[in-house]
Amino acid sequence: MQKLQICNFVYLCVLIILSPVDLNDMNQPEENLEKDTLCSACIWRQNTKQSRLEAIKIQILSKLRLEQPPNISRDAIKQRLPKAPALQELIDQYDIQRDGNSDSSMEDDDYHATTETIITMPTESEFLMQANGKPKCCFFKFNPKIQYNKVVKAQLWIYLKPVQRATTVIVQILRLIKPMKEGSGYVIRSLKLDMRPDAGIWQSIDVKSVLQNWLKQPESNLGIEIKAFDENEHDVAVTNEDGLNPFLEVKVMDKPKRSRRDFGLECDERSTEARCCRYPLTVDFEAIGWDWIIAPKRYKANYCSGDCEFGFKYPHTHVMHKAKPKGSVSPCCTPTKMSPINMLYFNGEEEVIYGKIPGMVVDRCGCS
């Protein structure tokens, strides 16, 4: 048991060292163990599980390059999120994470999160002022991650409010240029839409080339103007209403290295297995108060626990016996294979980011 305690302590220390986040910012869990009724192995597994939960919280902040969890409530996020099909599809698709993508024989092995989709909401800019002092829409401030990754797709989403009768709407997207005055922009996209009565719609517009130009010449990014007029010259574009504001959906390519994986012993909480084994562990972000994580609300992380005495009958045990020097400490039960999770989260800077965080699911445990 003493060797097992040493191994588990070393395992937690390694996770903390790899995740450079101030431990004082993390709430220490209260041990709530039944006394005198559970076997020592069960008690130790419970301690290991709690340690794993704390390590996961540290890892997530570190891999997302966050010093602390963004201070925003779930209600505030719901109010600010665009009510658009593109975003809802991401939430629906990744709301429940399954056990480490067990249908795949490959895994990502990089450390930091891999960004795949960034949802950027418009922000105010001193340039976007009309002659009457009212702000124009829209100015987008871009995440540095976009500048260093290959842009695969960039779409501007706009909401057109309901019309009273069937009509044709002409939509124009103008890129603003200096000097900032009425009519100073030039049309970069134009399309004609047929709208049904009493039904608002979300419309996506390809702006990849415009975005790429902005990334090459940031000083040219003065924002855009959105016009959408029906046959009666009524402007039906919504540019200043929570949940219906325009936003940019940018997809970037940033694939990490990949390697083969396999599986070791798998146990459940009722198991009497004494050897190193993988046990189930579900991380519930709502339960720990991390409302800034939009999806998944929970995922299966798993953890490792068990003994690694040389006497156990693992494959190649006879080789380990020969290699073990006298007086050496037995190996520890630690993760030997891990896989990523997909995450949709709010970073506190008017951005919703969808990315892949490597090394968050324990696929295999072993003695090392």
Q: What is the CATH number of the domain that holds 145?
A: 2.60.120.970
Secondary structure of residue 280 in the 3-state scheme? coil
Report if residue 16 sits inside a domain.
no
Phi, psi of 46 (to 5 degrees): -65, -40
Q: Are 212 and 303 found together in one domain?
A: no
Q: Are 231 and 166 found together in one domain?
A: yes
Report if residue 69 sits inside a domain.
yes
Q: Are 296 and 206 found together in one domain?
A: no
State which of 255, 272, 294 marks the end of a domain.
255
Report if residue 214 sits inside a domain.
yes
User: What are the angstrom distances between the C-alpha of 241 and each of 83, 115, 158, 220, 275?
Assistant: 11, 28, 11, 27, 58
pLDDT of residue 29: 44
Q: Are 151 and 94 found together in one domain?
A: no
pLDDT of residue 95: 52
pLDDT of residue 110: 54
Residues of the chain with pLDDT under 70: 1-41, 90-115, 125-136, 147-149, 179-184, 254-263, 310-330
Q: What is the pTM of this model?
A: 0.62
pLDDT of residue 311: 47
Q: How far apart are CA 150 and CA 153, in angstroms?
A: 9
Report if residue 168 sits inside a domain.
yes
pLDDT of residue 35: 44
Indicate the number of domains in the chain. Answer: 2
Q: Which residues of 218-230 are buried (b: 16+ CB within 10 A; e: fewer)?
A: eeebbbbbbebbb
pLDDT of residue 126: 56
β-bridge partners, 193: 169
pLDDT of residue 291: 92
Secondary structure of residue 343 in the 3-state scheme? strand
Report if residue 22 sits inside a domain.
no
pLDDT of residue 327: 52
Q: Are 302 and 195 found together in one domain?
A: no
Q: Are 224 and 267 found together in one domain?
A: no
**If residue 51 lies in a helix (H) or strand (E), which one and from where to where?**
helix 40-63
Residue 304 maps to which CATH number? 2.10.90.10
Q: Are 89 and 216 found together in one domain?
A: no
β-bridge partners, 122: none
Report if residue 19 sits inside a domain.
no
Q: Are 235 and 290 found together in one domain?
A: no
Q: Are 226 and 338 found together in one domain?
A: no
pLDDT of residue 203: 92
Q: Are 243 and 141 found together in one domain?
A: yes
Secondary structure of residue 352 in the 3-state scheme? strand
| Residues 70, 75, 80, 85, Cα dihedral to 10° | 110
Q: Are 79 and 142 found together in one domain?
A: no
Which residue range(s) make up the domain with 279? 48-98+260-309+327-367
Q: Are 247 and 293 found together in one domain?
A: no
207 in Cβ contact with 221 (< 8 Å): no
Report if residue 36 sits inside a domain.
no
Nearest CA to 102 out of 261, 290, 233, 219 is that of 261
Report if residue 10 sits inside a domain.
no
